């Protein structure tokens, strides 16, 4: 097995927002134990990049800054996705001296009413936090962390992407947009209520979404894409020649202290191993890679587009 170089670590499932599409809202609420966090790092000495993000607001973890410092002390790059609601003066100063590679702030719309309807939080406060973070970074003469936005696109917010881009430009951000459609994997979609299910992209929505995403990719100033965890993890991925990057050289540590293949695996039966059990995790990774190589989507990966692309490529090459 390749070494695990990239890991997403979920500091907590607690959140002060209430997004209707968030799996975390129906999961056990709690924080990752410090001991499990350190045990995971100890068991994976090849780590190059950790993304502190999961189904809760990372900055609510009482030891978030200790986590970032522990990673940096080990030479591991650190990225953060936050809902942006806790970006007060003190946290911003701490974030700017923490040595983070990237910070992305999540939102679906820059319209305050739509934002509140979807997230249950105040857009003005988030906007103020983004402006303050970007201004303080400039004032300090720092180029890192790059600052961008993470966007989940619902059917009703495809048209809101322009407003998000306007915000990006107005605040002179440089970390790009991480744009993904509302998740269709069962581990997420099974938790949606009927109103949220109606927000899944369908038919013509997809054409609009893909066209807009491609246009945005070219329109926005973006710096150092190698700083983004997901870009680095998927760099050079070709389903015809390689397996899933998560299974090859990635791992997901959830807030219960259990390792899985990626964030899509939320059932207890999906668990690979305890945080410290590197051999157990490697064995489960190898088993899923073997299943994909036989042209079969493992049960834990059902509905995943990466798994589907790999299986399609294996099926074509076997024909």
Q: Which residues bind to ligand SF4, rule: CB under 6 A?
A: 15, 17-19, 22, 24-25, 55-57, 83, 106, 119, 244, 246-247, 261-262, 264, 301, 304, 306-307
Residue from 117, 101, 1, 98 nearest 59 by CA: 98
Helix H or strand E encompassing 14: none
Nearer to ligand SF4, 201 or 304 (CB): 304
Write down the least CB distance from residue 204 to ligand SF4, Å. Answer: 26
Integer Cα distance of 144 and 142 in angstroms? 5
CB of 60 to ligand SF4, least distance (A): 9
CB of 308 to ligand SF4, least distance (A): 8
Closest approach of Cβ 233 to ligand SF4, in Å? 10
**In terms of CB distance, is 59 or 144 closer to ligand SF4?**
59
Phi and psi at 90, nearest 5°, equal: -65, -45
* Residue with smaller CB distance to ligand SF4, 83 or 256: 83
* Choice between 97 and 299, CB closer to ligand SF4: 299
Minimum separation from the CB atom of position 14 to ligand SF4 (A) = 9
Pick from 6, 99, 16: nearest CA to 61: 16
- Cβ–Cβ < 8 Å for 310, 244: yes
Q: Which is nearer to ligand SF4, 224 or 234 (CB)?
A: 234
Q: How far is the CB of 315 from ligand SF4 (least distance, A)?
A: 15
What is the CB-side half-sphere exposure of residue 319 using CA atoms within 13 A? 6
Peptide bond into 145 cis (omega under 30): yes
Which of 120, 184, 125 is closest to 154 using CA atoms?
184
CA distances, 78 to each of 14, 48, 92, 134, 199 (Å): 21, 9, 16, 18, 32
Nearer to ligand SF4, 224 or 237 (CB): 237
């Amino acid at each position: 097995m390749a070494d695990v170089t990239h890991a997403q670590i979920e500091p907590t499932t607690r959140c002060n927002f209430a997004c209707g599409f968030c799996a975390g809202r129906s999961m056990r609420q709690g924080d990752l134990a410090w001991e499990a966090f350190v045990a995971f790092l100890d068991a994976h000495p090849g780590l190059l990049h950790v993304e502190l993000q999961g189904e809760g607001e990372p900055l609510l973890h009482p030891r978030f800054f200790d986590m970032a410092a522990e990673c940096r002390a080990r030479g591991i790059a650190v990225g953060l996705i936050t809902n942006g609601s806790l970006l007060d003066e003190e946290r911003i100063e701490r974030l700017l001296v923490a040595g983070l590679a990237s910070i992305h702030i999540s939102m679906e719309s820059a319209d305050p009413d739509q934002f509140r309807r979807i997230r249950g939080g105040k857009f003005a406060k988030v906007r103020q936090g983004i402006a303050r973070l970007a201004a303080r970074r400039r004032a300090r003469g720092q180029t890192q962390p790059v600052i961008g936005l993470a966007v989940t696109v619902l059917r009703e917010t495809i048209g809101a992407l322009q407003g998000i881009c306007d915000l990006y430009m107005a605040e002179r951000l440089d970390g790009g947009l991480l744009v993904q459609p509302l998740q269709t994997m069962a581990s997420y979609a099974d938790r949606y209520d009927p109103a949220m299910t109606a927000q899944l992209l369908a038919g013509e929505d997809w054409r609009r979404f893909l066209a807009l995403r491609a246009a945005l990719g070219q329109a926005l100033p973006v710096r150092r894409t190698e700083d983004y965890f997901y870009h680095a993890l998927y760099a050079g991925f070709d389903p015809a020649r390689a397996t899933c990057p998560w299974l090859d050289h990635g791992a997901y540590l959830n807030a219960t202290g259990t390792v899985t293949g990626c964030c899509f695996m939320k059932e207890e039966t999906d668990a690979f191993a305890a945080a410290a059990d590197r051999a157990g995790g490697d064995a489960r990774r190898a088993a899923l890679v073997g299943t994909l190589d036989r042209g079969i989507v493992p049960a834990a990966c059902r509905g995943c587009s990466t798994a589907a692309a790999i299986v399609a490529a294996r099926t074509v090459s076997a024909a």
